[in-house]
Amino acid sequence: MTGKTVRVNVGKGYDVIIENGILNACGKILREVIGNGRAAIITDSNVSKLYLQTVFNTLKNENIDCESFIFEAGEQSKNISTLSEILEFLAEKQFVRSDTVIALGGGVTGDMAGFAAAVYLRGIKFIQIPTTLLAAVDSSVGGKTAIDLCAGKNLAGAFKQPEAVICDPEVFSTLPPKEFANGMAETIKYGVLFSEDLFDSFNNNTTPDQLCEMIEKCVSFKARTVEHDEFDNGERKLLNLGHTIGHAIEKCSNFTVSHGYAVAAGMAMIARASEALKTAKEGTAKRIEAVLKKYSLPTDFDFTSDELTSAALSDKKRSGNKITLVLPTGIGECILKDEPIEKLEEYIKLGKENN
Ligand code: NAD
Ligand code: GLY
């Protein structure tokens, strides 16, 4: 099967190229963006051992001069001190505004390298090469970049669209199963949000071609959403399905629960609450729980409603006395609802599994 390309029509627009094996053969695409400039590859300590040499070789074949910066893998690195090291590295290696940053890795790498590209010399070009399923279907597309602050996750960042996204699903073969499941949580999210057909196709036994197709569908849904609302003032908030409670779970666990697992449980909880309040069709929550369980994803956590409510209320997505919730009304259909913040506790209580 040939690869898939999704065009994202934001700013001057860019392509998301999804193709098995493309990592070995992406020189021409890289050359088109990098032109006669140099490239700075930002990657983490796990991904560098697996894929840095491949990207080096590809650049070398195109006679593109490059340098690499490797940071310790994990969310704990997505902070101001690693960002500062990346910026100092770019300056020390004398990268100029016509050069390009390449993010090779998962969402942590993409978010941080993207932010560095947004602020270094007031902005230089940026390419995303996602190596986790989560990054492929979500974080590499749409231009949100960020680092975490002591006060919370993703509290400092910028909107910075990449020049291109190159996604080779073959690299997911080296992902630990838990990381693949993490990405499936965000993938399932697109099914709940936009497409019952996509939702019904999740079977935990995906062939490489089916994986490409699944990623293409998710990226297309994300692209269309971001095209309508690049700066997250309306429709894009739909992509936060499961995230209000999910972020609260991450926070309550002191970030030992990963993003996808937290979003999975957040999605199941908001679906149960939505059904209890008759916003969602009967049976919606059970169907979501069943698909999450296929991938061993959680549908609840042991934190109390009080703990989750206070963590959720400290989230940056709250605006004044209102909070925008994403509520499933069925499979493939969700709505945005502004609720007074006092109502959040009721949703969380109704969302707990024992309700
Ligand atoms: P991650 O980047 O930390 O990757 C997870 C783990 O997998 C890491 O240990 C990494 O080294 C390893 N890894 C990556 N690719 C691998 C491969 N092919 N083989 C083996 N190991 C590999 O985390 P993530 O789950 O990709 O992303 C989570 C981050 O993304 C969070 O910080 C979250 O806030 C952010 N995020 C951002 C957006 C956005 O729109 N910008 C959307 C969703 C999530
Ligand atoms: N991951 C949510 C967004 O990009 O808006």
Query: Mind giving me the DSSP string for 216-262?
Result: HHHHHHHHHHHHH-TTSSSGGGGGGTTHHHHHHHHHHTTT-S-HHHH
Ligand nearest to the CA of 259: 1
Q: Which atom of ligand 2 is nearest to the CA of 139?
A: 1
Given this model, what pLDDT does residue 50 score? 98
Ligand 2 centroid vs 285 CA: distance in angstroms? 23
> Does residue 332 surpass a pLDDT of 90?
yes
Ligand 2 centroid vs 240 CA: distance in angstroms? 7
pLDDT in tens, 232-248: 999 999 999 999 999 99
Q: Is the CB of 250 under 6 A from ligand 1?
A: no
- Residue that has been written with the tokens 């698909």 in this structure: 291
Given this model, what pLDDT does residue 317 score? 60
Q: Which atom of ligand 2 is nearest to the CA of 236?
A: 5
Ligand 1 centroid vs 201 CA: distance in angstroms? 24
Given this model, what pLDDT does residue 10 score? 97
pLDDT category at 314 given cuts 50, 70, 90 is confident
Q: What is the mean pLDDT of the chain?
A: 95
Ligand 1 centroid vs 353 CA: distance in angstroms? 28
Mean of the pLDDT values across residues 77-100? 98
> Does residue 178 surpass a pLDDT of 70?
yes
pLDDT category at 318 given cuts 50, 70, 90 is low
Given this model, what pLDDT does residue 2 score? 67
Given this model, what pLDDT does residue 354 score? 63
pLDDT category at 350 given cuts 50, 70, 90 is very high
- Distance from chain centroid for Cα 224: 16
Cβ count near 176 (within 10 Å) = 9
Given this model, what pLDDT does residue 70 score? 98
Q: Do 248 and 312 meet the contact criterion of CB atoms below 8 Å apart?
A: yes
| Ligand 2 residue neighbourhood (C-beta within 6 Å) | 138, 142, 144, 232, 236, 239
* Proportion of the chain above pLDDT 70, given as a percent: 97
pLDDT category at 182 given cuts 50, 70, 90 is very high
Ligand 2 centroid vs 61 CA: distance in angstroms? 35
Q: Which atom of ligand 2 is nearest to the CA of 239?
A: 2
pLDDT category at 1 given cuts 50, 70, 90 is low
CA 229 – CA 219 distance, rounded (Å)? 15
Ligand nearest to the CA of 317: 2
pLDDT in tens, 117-168: 999 999 999 999 999 999 999 999 999 999 999 888 899 999 999 999 999 9
| DSSP element (H, E) containing 340 | strand 333-340
> Does residue 316 surpass a pLDDT of 70?
no
> Does residue 308 surpass a pLDDT of 80?
yes
